[in-house]
Amino acid sequence: MLNLVWADELDETAVREVRELLLAARRADGRPEVDAEGPLPGEFSGGLHLLGRLDGRLAGYAHLDTAGDSFGRQVAELIVHPELRRRGVGTRLTEALVAKAGTAELRVWAHGDHPAAARIAGHVGLRRARELLVLHTEVRDWPEPSLPGGVALRTFVPGQDEQAVIDVNARAFDWHPEQGALTVAELRATEAEDWFDPAGFFLAERDGRVIGFHWTKVHPADPNQFDGEPVGEVYVVGVDPAAQGGGLGKALTLAGLRHLRDRGLKHVILYVEGDNAPALAVYQRLGFTRFAVDVQYGR
């Protein structure tokens, strides 16, 4: 019988159990990104934790972000151990999440858009509310970026450019449930991550003012994906709404892609909202095709 326990914090033993479950899921599914040591991924910090055990073994884990996204919706992540799937664990965890959220608006991520997730969502009355597409391309000979008149390109300077980037980010992503809420403190914390590289963080300036940026990322090699090679990512491209429409977004994207190519990478991915038709059109013209899709179910 599945034993469900809610926790405000995870003790050392629970953190180890959750990490082992996440690592097993990554081997099976390619996600989530999780290190063998150190803290759990940021999406599992704070909030509430739900542990589901079968015969004492951690069979499933869910995290409920009670602070919510930029629009106040509580957001949940849910993972079932690959060896213990198809036993009703996911359904029980989802039912518990819905009950805990109460009358609050709730969104639950389903990474990979598995049919089982759709069935569970339907069972508890959740509907498909958001699609986040993962696009992929093999590295190619992208042309040099053509910047609009009066615009110069440079790289990010830690300790100098955080506020300017956050100001543009807030205006560019005021519609986005996660990205638009990025803070200076969070940006500075990311600068301490092993993957952060200011040489791959491009800023566009006009008259000395930042009007856009392209932040790239490099993921370590995963033996189960992309031929076991490291993979680059178009992490965030943001353009101030006042500077949109002149080709700046494409120019910034090309600058970052050429940087990733010059680092010797063979594959590049990016995440884009499924209903963002203008961005999809740009990325498709640059050679990106659909690789995977993540779904949020909500009520």
Known binding-site residue numbers: 78-80, 86-91, 178, 217, 233, 237-239, 244-250, 271
Question: Which secondary structure element, helix H or strand E, spans residue 222, and what is its range?
Answer: none
- Would you call 135 exposed, middle or buried from its count of C-beta atoms within 10 A (0-12, 13-18, 19+)? buried
Q: Annotated binding site for acetyl-CoA: which residue ranges?
A: 78-80, 86-91, 237-239, 244-250
Tokens 């914390």, residue located: 189
User: What is the CA 129 to chain-centroid distance, rounded?
Assistant: 17
18 within 8 A of 40, measured Cβ to Cβ: yes
243 vs 234: CA distance, rounded Å: 20
Asked if the peptide bond before residue 82 counts as cis, ω within 30 degrees of 0, the response is: no
Q: What is the largest CA-CA distance in the chain?
A: 66
The amino acid sitting at 112 is G
88 vs 77: CA distance, rounded Å: 17
Tokens coding 273: 């909202």
21 vs 72: CA distance, rounded Å: 29
